[in-house]
Structure 1
Protein backbone atom coordinates (compact mmCIF):
# COMPACT_ATOMS: atom_id res chain seq x y z
CA UNK A 1 0.00 0.00 0.00
CA UNK A 2 1.37 3.40 -0.94
CA UNK A 3 0.89 6.40 1.32
CA UNK A 4 1.76 10.06 1.40
CA UNK A 5 3.80 11.15 4.38
CA UNK A 6 5.18 14.49 5.51
CA UNK A 7 7.67 14.61 8.36
CA UNK A 8 8.57 17.76 10.24
CA UNK A 9 11.17 18.15 12.94
CA UNK A 10 12.81 21.12 14.65
CA UNK A 11 16.16 20.72 16.40
CA UNK A 12 16.96 22.06 19.85
CA UNK A 13 20.26 23.66 20.78
CA UNK A 14 20.65 26.57 18.37
CA UNK A 15 22.29 29.49 20.17
CA UNK A 16 20.98 33.04 20.32
CA UNK A 17 21.54 34.59 16.91
CA UNK A 18 23.32 37.92 16.59
CA UNK A 19 24.48 40.09 13.69
CA UNK A 20 26.97 38.32 11.44
CA UNK A 21 26.10 34.81 12.65
CA UNK A 22 26.71 31.96 10.19
CA UNK A 23 23.09 30.86 10.14
CA UNK A 24 23.61 28.25 7.44
CA UNK A 25 26.51 26.80 9.39
CA UNK A 26 24.34 26.47 12.49
CA UNK A 27 21.57 24.81 10.50
CA UNK A 28 24.04 22.35 9.00
CA UNK A 29 25.47 21.59 12.44
CA UNK A 30 22.12 20.87 14.09
CA UNK A 31 20.38 18.96 11.28
CA UNK A 32 21.04 16.05 8.94
CA UNK A 33 19.81 17.28 5.62
CA UNK A 34 18.88 15.11 2.64
CA UNK A 35 18.16 15.91 -0.97
CA UNK A 36 14.57 17.08 -1.28
CA UNK A 37 14.24 18.47 2.24
CA UNK A 38 12.62 21.85 2.80
CA UNK A 39 14.35 23.96 5.44
CA UNK A 40 12.12 26.53 7.16
CA UNK A 41 13.87 29.34 9.01
CA UNK A 42 12.02 32.06 10.92
CA UNK A 43 12.44 35.57 9.60
CA UNK A 44 13.45 36.71 13.06
CA UNK A 45 16.72 34.77 13.16
CA UNK A 46 17.43 35.66 9.54
CA UNK A 47 16.91 39.32 10.37
CA UNK A 48 19.05 39.08 13.50
CA UNK A 49 21.89 37.51 11.52
CA UNK A 50 21.55 40.31 8.96
CA UNK A 51 21.74 43.03 11.61
CA UNK A 52 18.11 44.13 11.46
CA UNK A 53 17.72 44.72 15.21
CA UNK A 54 16.94 48.33 16.15
CA UNK A 55 16.66 50.19 19.49
CA UNK A 56 13.43 51.85 20.50
CA UNK A 57 9.73 50.94 20.56
CA UNK A 58 8.02 49.20 17.68
CA UNK A 59 5.84 52.22 16.91
CA UNK A 60 8.90 54.30 16.04
CA UNK A 61 10.07 51.81 13.41
CA UNK A 62 6.78 51.18 11.60
CA UNK A 63 6.78 54.26 9.37
CA UNK A 64 10.12 53.41 7.78
CA UNK A 65 8.93 49.90 6.87
CA UNK A 66 5.52 50.99 5.54
CA UNK A 67 4.60 51.49 1.90
CA UNK A 68 1.03 52.43 2.83
CA UNK A 69 -1.47 51.99 5.64
CA UNK A 70 -4.18 49.44 4.85
CA UNK A 71 -6.27 49.70 8.01
CA UNK A 72 -6.15 50.97 11.57
CA UNK A 73 -8.11 50.40 14.74
CA UNK A 74 -6.86 52.66 17.49
CA UNK A 75 -3.16 51.86 18.00
CA UNK A 76 -3.29 48.77 15.76
CA UNK A 77 -1.91 49.35 12.27
CA UNK A 78 -2.19 46.94 9.35
CA UNK A 79 0.23 48.08 6.65
CA UNK A 80 1.61 47.01 3.32
CA UNK A 81 5.37 46.78 3.61
CA UNK A 82 7.95 47.60 0.99
CA UNK A 83 8.07 43.83 0.31
CA UNK A 84 4.38 43.90 -0.64
CA UNK A 85 3.37 42.02 2.50
CA UNK A 86 0.24 43.11 4.39
CA UNK A 87 0.94 42.68 8.10
CA UNK A 88 0.30 44.17 11.51
CA UNK A 89 2.94 46.76 12.43
CA UNK A 90 4.91 45.99 9.24
CA UNK A 91 5.97 42.63 10.68
CA UNK A 92 8.17 44.35 13.29
CA UNK A 93 8.58 42.17 16.37
CA UNK A 94 9.45 43.01 19.96
CA UNK A 95 9.37 39.43 21.30
CA UNK A 96 12.35 37.11 21.77
CA UNK A 97 14.69 40.08 21.55
CA UNK A 98 16.50 42.19 24.15
CA UNK A 99 14.27 44.63 26.04
CA UNK A 100 14.14 48.03 24.38
CA UNK A 101 14.86 46.70 20.89
CA UNK A 102 12.82 45.40 17.97
CA UNK A 103 13.51 43.18 14.97
CA UNK A 104 12.61 44.35 11.46
CA UNK A 105 11.91 41.94 8.62
CA UNK A 106 14.83 41.04 6.34
CA UNK A 107 15.36 43.60 3.58
CA UNK A 108 14.93 40.97 0.84
CA UNK A 109 13.64 37.63 2.23
CA UNK A 110 13.90 35.89 -1.16
CA UNK A 111 17.55 36.87 -1.43
CA UNK A 112 18.09 35.65 2.13
CA UNK A 113 16.54 32.29 1.22
CA UNK A 114 18.73 31.98 -1.89
CA UNK A 115 21.88 32.73 0.10
CA UNK A 116 20.99 30.16 2.77
CA UNK A 117 20.17 27.54 0.15
CA UNK A 118 23.45 27.99 -1.70
CA UNK A 119 25.46 27.93 1.52
CA UNK A 120 23.68 24.78 2.76
CA UNK A 121 24.43 23.09 -0.55
CA UNK A 122 28.10 23.99 -0.12
CA UNK A 123 28.23 22.79 3.49
CA UNK A 124 26.17 19.60 3.27
CA UNK A 125 26.01 18.64 -0.39
CA UNK A 126 22.23 18.32 -0.06
CA UNK A 127 19.91 19.93 -2.54
CA UNK A 128 17.25 21.51 -0.33
CA UNK A 129 14.69 24.26 -0.63
CA UNK A 130 14.62 27.10 1.89
CA UNK A 131 11.65 29.12 3.07
CA UNK A 132 11.85 32.15 5.36
CA UNK A 133 8.76 32.23 7.54
CA UNK A 134 6.85 34.82 9.53
CA UNK A 135 3.64 34.91 11.53
CA UNK A 136 0.59 36.82 10.33
CA UNK A 137 -3.09 37.13 11.03
CA UNK A 138 -5.71 36.57 8.35
CA UNK A 139 -8.76 38.57 7.37
CA UNK A 140 -12.01 36.94 8.57
CA UNK A 141 -10.15 34.42 10.78
CA UNK A 142 -9.06 34.60 14.42
CA UNK A 143 -5.53 33.67 15.40
CA UNK A 144 -2.33 33.63 13.41
CA UNK A 145 -0.39 31.17 11.30
CA UNK A 146 3.03 31.16 9.71
CA UNK A 147 3.55 31.93 6.03
CA UNK A 148 6.50 32.08 3.66
CA UNK A 149 7.87 35.56 3.09
CA UNK A 150 11.01 34.28 1.35
CA UNK A 151 11.64 31.16 -0.71
CA UNK A 152 14.35 29.55 -2.82
CA UNK A 153 14.50 26.21 -4.57
CA UNK A 154 10.75 25.78 -4.58
CA UNK A 155 7.85 26.93 -6.71
CA UNK A 156 5.68 28.56 -4.01
CA UNK A 157 2.41 28.02 -5.89
CA UNK A 158 1.24 24.75 -7.42
CA UNK A 159 -0.99 25.36 -10.40
CA UNK A 160 -3.86 22.92 -10.91
CA UNK A 161 -5.73 25.10 -13.38
CA UNK A 162 -6.80 23.00 -16.36
CA UNK A 163 -6.33 19.68 -14.59
CA UNK A 164 -9.24 17.29 -14.15
CA UNK A 165 -10.38 15.84 -10.82
CA UNK A 166 -11.54 12.26 -10.18
CA UNK A 167 -15.09 13.19 -11.23
CA UNK A 168 -14.02 14.69 -14.55
CA UNK A 169 -14.39 18.32 -13.45
CA UNK A 170 -11.83 20.73 -14.86
CA UNK A 171 -10.19 22.86 -12.16
CA UNK A 172 -10.37 26.58 -12.85
CA UNK A 173 -8.77 28.49 -9.95
CA UNK A 174 -7.05 25.92 -7.72
CA UNK A 175 -3.53 27.10 -6.87
CA UNK A 176 -2.32 25.74 -3.52
CA UNK A 177 0.14 28.07 -1.81
CA UNK A 178 2.45 25.20 -0.89
CA UNK A 179 5.19 27.43 0.55
CA UNK A 180 2.68 28.86 3.04
CA UNK A 181 1.35 25.40 3.85
CA UNK A 182 4.87 24.19 4.60
CA UNK A 183 5.52 27.26 6.73
CA UNK A 184 2.45 26.44 8.82
CA UNK A 185 3.56 22.84 9.23
CA UNK A 186 7.02 24.00 10.32
CA UNK A 187 5.57 26.26 13.00
CA UNK A 188 3.78 23.32 14.59
CA UNK A 189 7.10 21.75 15.54
CA UNK A 190 8.99 24.98 16.14
CA UNK A 191 6.55 26.55 18.58
CA UNK A 192 6.82 30.11 19.81
CA UNK A 193 8.56 29.64 23.15
CA UNK A 194 10.92 26.70 22.63
CA UNK A 195 13.88 28.35 20.92
CA UNK A 196 13.55 26.30 17.73
CA UNK A 197 13.78 28.76 14.83
CA UNK A 198 14.62 26.08 12.24
CA UNK A 199 12.52 23.18 11.00
CA UNK A 200 13.11 20.53 8.36
CA UNK A 201 10.20 19.17 6.34
CA UNK A 202 10.65 15.87 4.56
CA UNK A 203 8.33 14.13 2.15
CA UNK A 204 7.75 16.73 -0.58
CA UNK A 205 10.92 16.36 -2.59
CA UNK A 206 8.74 16.75 -5.67
CA UNK A 207 8.47 20.45 -4.84
CA UNK A 208 12.23 21.04 -4.63
CA UNK A 209 13.88 22.47 -7.73
CA UNK A 210 17.25 21.31 -9.11
CA UNK A 211 20.45 22.93 -7.83
CA UNK A 212 20.88 26.44 -9.18
CA UNK A 213 17.17 26.87 -9.92
CA UNK A 214 15.72 29.03 -7.17
CA UNK A 215 12.25 29.67 -8.57
CA UNK A 216 10.30 32.93 -8.42
CA UNK A 217 10.57 33.32 -4.65
CA UNK A 218 7.80 34.07 -2.17
CA UNK A 219 7.23 37.35 -3.95
CA UNK A 220 5.08 35.29 -6.34
CA UNK A 221 2.58 34.88 -3.49
CA UNK A 222 2.00 38.63 -3.17
CA UNK A 223 -1.17 39.79 -4.89
CA UNK A 224 -0.59 43.05 -6.73
CA UNK A 225 -2.75 46.12 -6.25
CA UNK A 226 -4.65 45.74 -9.51
CA UNK A 227 -6.07 42.35 -8.48
CA UNK A 228 -6.34 42.93 -4.71
CA UNK A 229 -10.03 43.13 -3.78
CA UNK A 230 -9.21 44.25 -0.25
CA UNK A 231 -6.58 46.95 -0.72
CA UNK A 232 -7.94 49.00 2.19
CA UNK A 233 -9.77 48.27 5.40
CA UNK A 234 -13.49 49.02 5.41
CA UNK A 235 -13.21 52.43 7.08
CA UNK A 236 -10.13 53.48 5.18
CA UNK A 237 -11.76 52.62 1.84
CA UNK A 238 -14.65 55.00 2.59
CA UNK A 239 -12.38 57.84 3.67
CA UNK A 240 -9.97 57.50 0.76
CA UNK A 241 -12.72 57.26 -1.83
CA UNK A 242 -14.27 60.45 -0.48
CA UNK A 243 -10.92 62.23 -0.31
CA UNK A 244 -10.16 61.18 -3.90
CA UNK A 245 -6.40 61.70 -3.83
CA UNK A 246 -4.76 60.37 -7.02
CA UNK A 247 -2.09 58.50 -5.06
CA UNK A 248 -4.78 56.43 -3.35
CA UNK A 249 -6.20 54.96 -6.55
CA UNK A 250 -4.04 51.87 -7.05
CA UNK A 251 -5.28 49.79 -4.09
CA UNK A 252 -8.84 50.05 -5.42
CA UNK A 253 -7.73 48.00 -8.43
CA UNK A 254 -8.04 48.36 -12.19
CA UNK A 255 -10.99 50.31 -13.65
CA UNK A 256 -14.21 48.34 -13.32
CA UNK A 257 -16.42 47.36 -16.23
CA UNK A 258 -19.06 49.99 -17.11
CA UNK A 259 -21.91 47.70 -16.06
CA UNK A 260 -20.31 47.18 -12.63
CA UNK A 261 -19.92 50.91 -12.15
CA UNK A 262 -23.51 51.52 -13.24
CA UNK A 263 -24.81 48.88 -10.82
CA UNK A 264 -23.01 50.63 -7.97
CA UNK A 265 -24.01 54.17 -8.94
CA UNK A 266 -27.73 53.44 -9.12
CA UNK A 267 -27.60 52.38 -5.46
CA UNK A 268 -26.55 55.89 -4.39
CA UNK A 269 -29.42 58.06 -3.14
CA UNK A 270 -30.33 60.67 -5.73
CA UNK A 271 -28.85 58.90 -8.76
CA UNK A 272 -31.62 58.46 -11.32
CA UNK A 273 -29.97 57.07 -14.42
CA UNK A 274 -26.61 55.81 -15.68
CA UNK A 275 -26.09 55.53 -19.44
CA UNK A 276 -22.79 54.00 -20.65
CA UNK A 277 -21.52 55.08 -24.06
CA UNK A 278 -21.57 52.57 -26.89
CA UNK A 279 -17.80 52.17 -26.80
CA UNK A 280 -17.63 51.95 -22.98
CA UNK A 281 -15.22 54.90 -23.01
CA UNK A 282 -17.52 57.04 -20.87
CA UNK A 283 -20.87 57.14 -19.12
CA UNK A 284 -23.43 59.80 -18.31
CA UNK A 285 -25.03 60.01 -14.89
CA UNK A 286 -28.22 61.93 -14.15
CA UNK A 287 -28.68 62.73 -10.48
CA UNK A 288 -29.99 65.14 -7.89
CA UNK A 289 -27.47 67.83 -7.06
CA UNK A 290 -26.55 66.49 -3.56
CA UNK A 291 -25.64 63.13 -5.11
CA UNK A 292 -22.56 64.61 -6.79
CA UNK A 293 -20.28 63.75 -3.87
CA UNK A 294 -21.44 60.14 -3.84
CA UNK A 295 -21.03 59.86 -7.61
CA UNK A 296 -17.44 61.14 -7.41
CA UNK A 297 -16.53 58.79 -4.53
CA UNK A 298 -18.04 55.71 -6.20
CA UNK A 299 -16.31 56.52 -9.47
CA UNK A 300 -12.99 56.92 -7.67
CA UNK A 301 -13.38 53.54 -5.96
CA UNK A 302 -14.25 51.88 -9.28
CA UNK A 303 -11.28 53.34 -11.17
CA UNK A 304 -13.29 55.97 -13.04
CA UNK A 305 -13.05 59.76 -12.94
CA UNK A 306 -15.50 62.64 -13.18
CA UNK A 307 -14.82 64.63 -16.35
CA UNK A 308 -17.61 67.21 -16.32
CA UNK A 309 -20.55 68.19 -14.14
CA UNK A 310 -23.31 70.28 -15.71
CA UNK A 311 -26.17 71.85 -13.80
CA UNK A 312 -29.60 71.27 -15.27
CA UNK A 313 -33.08 72.26 -14.19
CA UNK A 314 -33.60 68.69 -12.97
CA UNK A 315 -30.30 68.30 -11.08
CA UNK A 316 -26.85 67.47 -12.49
CA UNK A 317 -25.53 65.65 -15.53
CA UNK A 318 -22.16 64.04 -14.87
CA UNK A 319 -19.82 62.63 -17.54
CA UNK A 320 -17.41 60.00 -16.25
CA UNK A 321 -14.68 57.91 -17.88
CA UNK A 322 -12.20 55.17 -16.90
CA UNK A 323 -8.87 56.32 -15.54
CA UNK A 324 -6.02 55.65 -17.97
CA UNK A 325 -2.40 55.31 -16.96
Structure 2
Protein backbone atom coordinates (compact mmCIF):
# COMPACT_ATOMS: atom_id res chain seq x y z
CA UNK A 1 0.00 0.00 0.00
CA UNK A 2 1.25 3.48 -0.87
CA UNK A 3 0.13 6.75 0.69
CA UNK A 4 0.98 9.94 -1.20
CA UNK A 5 0.11 13.46 -0.02
CA UNK A 6 -1.57 15.83 -2.44
CA UNK A 7 0.75 18.84 -2.32
CA UNK A 8 0.39 22.53 -3.19
CA UNK A 9 -3.28 22.82 -2.35
CA UNK A 10 -4.21 26.49 -1.79
CA UNK A 11 -5.95 27.90 1.25
CA UNK A 12 -9.50 26.65 0.80
CA UNK A 13 -12.30 29.21 0.67
CA UNK A 14 -16.11 28.89 0.66
CA UNK A 15 -17.37 27.52 -2.63
CA UNK A 16 -14.05 26.00 -3.70
CA UNK A 17 -14.29 22.74 -5.66
CA UNK A 18 -12.16 20.26 -3.73
CA UNK A 19 -12.53 17.57 -6.41
CA UNK A 20 -11.18 19.94 -9.07
CA UNK A 21 -8.32 21.16 -6.87
CA UNK A 22 -7.24 17.60 -6.05
CA UNK A 23 -7.69 16.35 -9.62
CA UNK A 24 -5.34 19.08 -10.87
CA UNK A 25 -2.62 18.00 -8.44
CA UNK A 26 -2.93 14.23 -8.06
CA UNK A 27 -2.62 11.36 -10.52
CA UNK A 28 -5.68 9.45 -9.38
CA UNK A 29 -6.50 5.97 -10.68
CA UNK A 30 -9.45 3.61 -10.38
CA UNK A 31 -9.20 1.72 -7.11
CA UNK A 32 -7.52 4.58 -5.23
CA UNK A 33 -8.87 5.93 -1.97
CA UNK A 34 -8.72 9.70 -1.48
CA UNK A 35 -8.72 10.88 2.13
CA UNK A 36 -9.63 14.53 2.68
CA UNK A 37 -9.32 16.34 6.02
CA UNK A 38 -12.62 17.64 7.31
CA UNK A 39 -10.91 21.02 7.81
CA UNK A 40 -10.84 21.83 4.11
CA UNK A 41 -14.26 20.29 3.52
CA UNK A 42 -15.70 22.58 6.18
CA UNK A 43 -13.96 25.60 4.70
CA UNK A 44 -15.28 24.82 1.22
CA UNK A 45 -18.77 24.45 2.69
CA UNK A 46 -18.55 27.76 4.55
CA UNK A 47 -18.60 26.26 8.02
CA UNK A 48 -16.54 29.05 9.59
CA UNK A 49 -18.15 31.13 12.32
CA UNK A 50 -17.45 33.87 14.85
CA UNK A 51 -18.28 33.58 18.54
CA UNK A 52 -20.37 36.73 18.32
CA UNK A 53 -22.75 34.74 16.11
CA UNK A 54 -23.91 32.75 19.18
CA UNK A 55 -26.32 34.45 21.60
CA UNK A 56 -25.60 32.83 24.95
CA UNK A 57 -28.26 30.74 26.68
CA UNK A 58 -28.52 30.14 30.40
CA UNK A 59 -27.27 26.59 29.89
CA UNK A 60 -24.13 27.83 28.12
CA UNK A 61 -23.46 30.33 30.91
CA UNK A 62 -23.83 27.57 33.48
CA UNK A 63 -21.45 25.25 31.59
CA UNK A 64 -18.80 27.94 31.13
CA UNK A 65 -18.95 28.98 34.80
CA UNK A 66 -18.61 25.40 36.00
CA UNK A 67 -15.71 24.61 33.67
CA UNK A 68 -13.95 27.80 34.75
CA UNK A 69 -14.37 26.84 38.38
CA UNK A 70 -13.05 23.30 37.81
CA UNK A 71 -10.11 24.16 35.55
CA UNK A 72 -9.14 27.59 36.79
CA UNK A 73 -9.14 28.82 33.19
CA UNK A 74 -11.41 31.48 31.72
CA UNK A 75 -14.14 29.95 29.54
CA UNK A 76 -16.16 31.75 26.90
CA UNK A 77 -19.88 30.92 27.18
CA UNK A 78 -20.25 31.69 23.47
CA UNK A 79 -18.02 28.73 22.68
CA UNK A 80 -20.14 26.54 24.95
CA UNK A 81 -23.20 27.77 23.05
CA UNK A 82 -21.62 26.82 19.72
CA UNK A 83 -20.92 23.32 21.07
CA UNK A 84 -24.51 22.95 22.24
CA UNK A 85 -25.89 24.01 18.87
CA UNK A 86 -23.68 21.50 17.00
CA UNK A 87 -24.67 18.61 19.28
CA UNK A 88 -27.62 16.32 19.77
CA UNK A 89 -26.47 15.11 23.20
CA UNK A 90 -24.05 16.33 25.84
CA UNK A 91 -22.56 13.16 27.32
CA UNK A 92 -20.12 14.88 29.70
CA UNK A 93 -20.35 18.54 30.76
CA UNK A 94 -17.33 18.59 33.10
CA UNK A 95 -14.35 18.73 33.22
CA UNK A 96 -14.74 18.98 29.41
CA UNK A 97 -17.58 18.74 26.90
CA UNK A 98 -18.06 15.35 25.26
CA UNK A 99 -20.84 15.46 22.70
CA UNK A 100 -22.62 13.59 19.94
CA UNK A 101 -22.67 15.58 16.72
CA UNK A 102 -25.73 15.75 14.52
CA UNK A 103 -24.34 13.04 12.23
CA UNK A 104 -23.52 10.61 15.07
CA UNK A 105 -19.82 11.23 15.81
CA UNK A 106 -18.76 11.37 19.48
CA UNK A 107 -16.06 13.97 20.11
CA UNK A 108 -14.87 16.68 22.48
CA UNK A 109 -16.47 20.09 21.84
CA UNK A 110 -18.50 18.72 18.89
CA UNK A 111 -15.25 18.67 16.91
CA UNK A 112 -15.14 22.49 16.75
CA UNK A 113 -11.66 23.72 15.81
CA UNK A 114 -10.01 27.00 16.74
CA UNK A 115 -6.80 26.51 14.73
CA UNK A 116 -6.09 27.30 11.07
CA UNK A 117 -9.23 29.42 10.65
CA UNK A 118 -8.18 32.67 8.94
CA UNK A 119 -10.46 35.64 9.66
CA UNK A 120 -12.86 33.68 11.87
CA UNK A 121 -12.98 32.40 15.45
CA UNK A 122 -14.01 28.77 14.93
CA UNK A 123 -14.44 26.06 12.31
CA UNK A 124 -17.35 23.63 12.57
CA UNK A 125 -17.34 20.07 11.26
CA UNK A 126 -19.16 19.42 7.96
CA UNK A 127 -22.89 19.09 8.52
CA UNK A 128 -23.15 15.75 6.70
CA UNK A 129 -19.67 14.35 5.99
CA UNK A 130 -20.86 11.34 4.02
CA UNK A 131 -22.76 13.63 1.65
CA UNK A 132 -19.59 15.73 1.41
CA UNK A 133 -17.61 12.62 0.45
CA UNK A 134 -20.22 11.73 -2.16
CA UNK A 135 -20.01 15.22 -3.70
CA UNK A 136 -16.23 15.02 -3.96
CA UNK A 137 -16.47 11.56 -5.51
CA UNK A 138 -19.07 12.78 -8.01
CA UNK A 139 -16.85 15.74 -8.82
CA UNK A 140 -13.98 13.41 -9.61
CA UNK A 141 -16.23 11.22 -11.75
CA UNK A 142 -17.33 14.31 -13.70
CA UNK A 143 -13.65 14.72 -14.62
CA UNK A 144 -13.51 11.08 -15.78
CA UNK A 145 -11.72 9.97 -12.62
CA UNK A 146 -14.00 7.10 -11.68
CA UNK A 147 -14.01 4.31 -9.10
CA UNK A 148 -12.12 6.38 -6.52
CA UNK A 149 -13.41 6.07 -2.95
CA UNK A 150 -13.40 9.17 -0.75
CA UNK A 151 -13.07 9.40 3.05
CA UNK A 152 -13.56 12.62 5.01
CA UNK A 153 -11.27 12.45 8.05
CA UNK A 154 -10.67 14.16 11.36
CA UNK A 155 -8.43 13.63 14.38
CA UNK A 156 -9.76 12.99 17.86
CA UNK A 157 -8.73 11.43 21.14
CA UNK A 158 -9.36 7.88 22.32
CA UNK A 159 -10.70 6.50 25.60
CA UNK A 160 -8.00 5.08 27.88
CA UNK A 161 -5.09 6.34 25.71
CA UNK A 162 -3.10 9.54 25.33
CA UNK A 163 -2.91 11.28 21.97
CA UNK A 164 -5.10 11.63 18.92
CA UNK A 165 -5.49 9.56 15.75
CA UNK A 166 -7.25 9.88 12.45
CA UNK A 167 -10.87 8.73 12.14
CA UNK A 168 -13.44 8.71 9.35
CA UNK A 169 -16.42 11.06 9.56
CA UNK A 170 -17.90 10.28 6.15
CA UNK A 171 -17.13 8.04 3.20
CA UNK A 172 -18.31 7.19 -0.31
CA UNK A 173 -17.45 4.50 -2.83
CA UNK A 174 -16.59 1.80 -0.29
CA UNK A 175 -18.12 0.16 2.80
CA UNK A 176 -17.18 1.51 6.21
CA UNK A 177 -16.13 -1.89 7.52
CA UNK A 178 -15.42 -5.43 6.42
CA UNK A 179 -17.02 -8.29 8.27
CA UNK A 180 -14.87 -11.27 9.24
CA UNK A 181 -17.61 -13.02 11.20
CA UNK A 182 -18.16 -16.56 10.05
CA UNK A 183 -14.63 -16.89 8.65
CA UNK A 184 -12.04 -19.17 10.24
CA UNK A 185 -8.82 -18.29 12.01
CA UNK A 186 -5.56 -20.24 11.50
CA UNK A 187 -6.69 -22.86 13.99
CA UNK A 188 -10.07 -23.38 12.35
CA UNK A 189 -12.05 -21.43 14.95
CA UNK A 190 -14.95 -19.42 13.60
CA UNK A 191 -14.71 -15.66 14.15
CA UNK A 192 -17.76 -14.38 15.97
CA UNK A 193 -17.26 -10.65 16.62
CA UNK A 194 -14.53 -9.29 14.33
CA UNK A 195 -15.76 -6.38 12.21
CA UNK A 196 -12.86 -4.27 10.93
CA UNK A 197 -13.45 -0.52 10.59
CA UNK A 198 -11.43 -0.01 7.42
CA UNK A 199 -12.41 3.63 6.91
CA UNK A 200 -11.01 4.48 10.34
CA UNK A 201 -7.83 2.49 9.69
CA UNK A 202 -7.26 4.21 6.35
CA UNK A 203 -7.94 7.60 7.94
CA UNK A 204 -5.41 6.85 10.65
CA UNK A 205 -2.80 5.68 8.14
CA UNK A 206 -3.34 8.82 6.08
CA UNK A 207 -2.92 10.95 9.19
CA UNK A 208 0.68 9.74 9.45
CA UNK A 209 1.26 11.39 6.08
CA UNK A 210 -0.86 14.53 6.45
CA UNK A 211 0.74 15.71 9.66
CA UNK A 212 -0.67 18.30 12.05
CA UNK A 213 -0.44 22.01 12.77
CA UNK A 214 1.05 24.48 10.31
CA UNK A 215 2.72 21.77 8.22
CA UNK A 216 -0.39 19.70 7.61
CA UNK A 217 -1.27 18.35 4.17
CA UNK A 218 -5.06 17.89 3.98
CA UNK A 219 -5.42 15.24 1.26
CA UNK A 220 -3.77 11.85 0.71
CA UNK A 221 -4.06 9.26 -2.06
CA UNK A 222 -4.05 5.63 -0.89
CA UNK A 223 -3.05 3.18 -3.62
CA UNK A 224 -2.74 -0.61 -3.89
CA UNK A 225 -5.13 -1.25 -1.03
CA UNK A 226 -7.97 -3.72 -1.60
CA UNK A 227 -11.12 -4.31 0.42
CA UNK A 228 -10.89 -8.05 -0.19
CA UNK A 229 -13.53 -10.73 -0.52
CA UNK A 230 -15.52 -9.86 2.59
CA UNK A 231 -19.02 -8.74 3.37
CA UNK A 232 -19.20 -4.98 3.89
CA UNK A 233 -21.20 -2.74 6.18
CA UNK A 234 -21.84 1.00 6.42
CA UNK A 235 -22.47 0.86 10.15
CA UNK A 236 -19.81 2.89 11.96
CA UNK A 237 -21.43 4.75 14.85
CA UNK A 238 -22.92 2.59 17.59
CA UNK A 239 -26.61 2.90 18.33
CA UNK A 240 -27.53 4.07 21.82
CA UNK A 241 -29.00 0.66 22.58
CA UNK A 242 -25.68 -1.08 21.82
CA UNK A 243 -23.41 1.52 23.42
CA UNK A 244 -22.81 0.48 27.03
CA UNK A 245 -20.25 3.26 27.58
CA UNK A 246 -22.72 5.95 26.56
CA UNK A 247 -25.37 4.42 28.80
CA UNK A 248 -22.93 4.52 31.72
CA UNK A 249 -21.96 8.13 31.00
CA UNK A 250 -25.60 9.14 31.16
CA UNK A 251 -25.62 7.99 34.77
CA UNK A 252 -22.23 9.50 35.68
CA UNK A 253 -21.44 12.90 37.15
CA UNK A 254 -18.11 14.44 38.15
CA UNK A 255 -19.75 15.23 41.49
CA UNK A 256 -20.43 11.56 42.25
Match in the other structure for 1:196: 217
Of 240, 243, 253, the residue aligned with 1:225 is: 240
- Range 152-161 or range 199-208, more displaced: 199-208
CA distance in 2, matches of 1:43, 1:134: 6
Q: Give me the whole-angstrom Cα distance separating, in 2, the residues matched to 1:162 and 1:10.
A: 37
What is the 5 A alignment of 1:199-218? Answer: 199-206=220-227
Q: Kindly state the Cα deviation for residue 99 of structure 1 after the two structures are TM-superposed.
A: 5.4
Deviation (angstroms), 1:97: 0.8
Q: Helix, strand or coil for the counterpart of 1:96?
A: coil
1:133–1:147 contact (8 Å) kept in structure 2: yes
Deviation at 1:232, TM superposition (A): 5.1
Distance (Å, rounded) in 2 between the aligned partners of 1:198 and 1:47: 14
Q: Does the CA contact (< 8 Å) of 2:131 and 2:170 recur in 1? A: yes
CA contact (8 A) 2:84 2:90 kept: no
Is 1:237–2:232 an aligned residue pair?
no
**In 2: Cα distance, 1:8 partner to 1:125 partner:** 18
Question: Contact 1:70/1:232 (CA < 8 Å) preserved in 2?
Answer: no
After the TM superposition, which parts of structure 1 deviate over 6 Å for at least 4 consecutive aligned residues?
A: none
Q: Which has the higher contact order (CA 8 A, sep 6+)?
A: 2
Distance in 2, matches of 1:59 and 1:99, equals: 20
1:239-258 aligned within 5 A = none
Question: Shift of residue 233 of structure 1?
Answer: 6.1
Q: Could you say which residue in structure 1 is the equivalent of 2:29?
A: 34
Structure 1 residue runs without a partner (length 5+): 1-5, 209-214, 243-325
Q: Given the superposition, is the C-alpha separation of residues 135 and 58 from structure 1 closer, same or farther in structure 2, using an over 3 Å criterion?
A: farther
Per-residue displacement from partner, 1:226-266 (whole Å, max 9, x unpaired)? 000111565x5145xx9xxxxxxxxxxxxxxxxxxxxxxxx
CA distance in 2, matches of 1:105, 1:80: 12
TM-score, with length taken from structure 2: 0.83
Partners of 1:119 and 1:68 in 2: how far apart? 33
Q: Which has the larger radius of gyration?
A: 1
Equivalent of 1:135, from 152, 155, 163? 155
Q: 2: distance between equivalents of 1:98 and 1:22?
A: 19
